[in-house]
Amino acid sequence: MKAQFTFGKTSWEADLSRGVDISIPVRGGDRGVRCWGVDFPRIEPHSAGSFTGSVEAGAPVNFKDIAFNPHAHGTHTECLGHITEAAESVLEYPPDPWVVATLVSLTPEEQAGDRLITRAQLQAVLLEPLPEAIILRTLPNPESKKFKQYSHTNPPYLEARAASWLRANGVLHLLLDLPSVDREEDGGKLSAHKAFWGLPEDPRPQATITELIYVPAGVTDGMYLLNMQLAAFENDASPSRPILFPIAVAAGQDEG
């Protein structure tokens, strides 16, 4: 199945049969990604009296309890309620299900013992005007990211000036393969979060940040149609499932 849409002055065609899931699922046991000093998520048969929710244990159905933290255990999309006293829900301003996105791959720069994605790096690879969504893949990009234990490792993060530049260029949705746009331990500054959401002067409740994605190595940098899927959790962040669809200029015209 294919779909046509217009971006800028150009008509594009997306192949909806070739979607690439760039989410990391919440996994029970000791196999999943985790961050922030949080233990592994628990997905266990519910137990009540003589009932244990497992077909293997003799129950008619599998009936499991799940305990996890969306910020620590897989791909999640968060809203500005993540850092505001009001703690708005991500479902109050859900992203459009279909947006144009650009994927870029960058090697974070070494700075004073940290590794940062900088404004200069983004300006070097992103052509204005920018689409609504930007997807950042950090290099190197091993599959082990899907199972990585990030706690107390000081992962790479986004320079606040880079976040400000993205906001100034109208980017509403930022997706990246890191636990956070900010430093793991920054004394509560959250400079990149605040810069991207325009806090405190010009808050952008419609903007979202999606963290802990994983873009497979075979997916090339460039433009895509992005399908943003959120789980229905009333919370500042929700597990999410972004899917990329390849696009091409529609037949019969040149890129505008």
pLDDT at residue number 1: 85
Q: What is d(CA 90, CA 237) in angstroms, rounded to the nearest whole number?
A: 6
pLDDT at residue number 87: 83
User: Six-digit token pair at 115?
Assistant: 């590794």
Contacts of 143 (CB under 8 A, 6+ apart): 214, 216
Per DSSP, 84 falls in state S
Which residue is associated with the tokens 């990329």?
Answer: 244
203 burial class (0-12, 13-18, 19+ CB within 10 angstroms)?
Answer: middle
Low-confidence stretches of the chain (pLDDT beneath 70): 252-256
Closest-CA residue to 131 (of 5, 8, 254): 8
pLDDT at residue number 31: 86
pTM of the model: 0.95
Find how far residue 1's CA is from the centre of its chain: 26
Contacts of 35 (CB under 8 A, 6+ apart): 71, 72, 150, 151, 179, 180, 212
pLDDT at residue number 253: 64
pLDDT at residue number 93: 92
pLDDT at residue number 29: 87
pLDDT at residue number 162: 98
Neighbours of 123 (CB within 10 A): 13
pLDDT at residue number 8: 84
pLDDT at residue number 7: 87
Q: What is d(CA 76, CA 192) in angstroms, rounded to the nearest whole number?
A: 17
What are the φ and ψ backbone dihedral angles of 96, each rounded to 5 degrees?
-55, 140
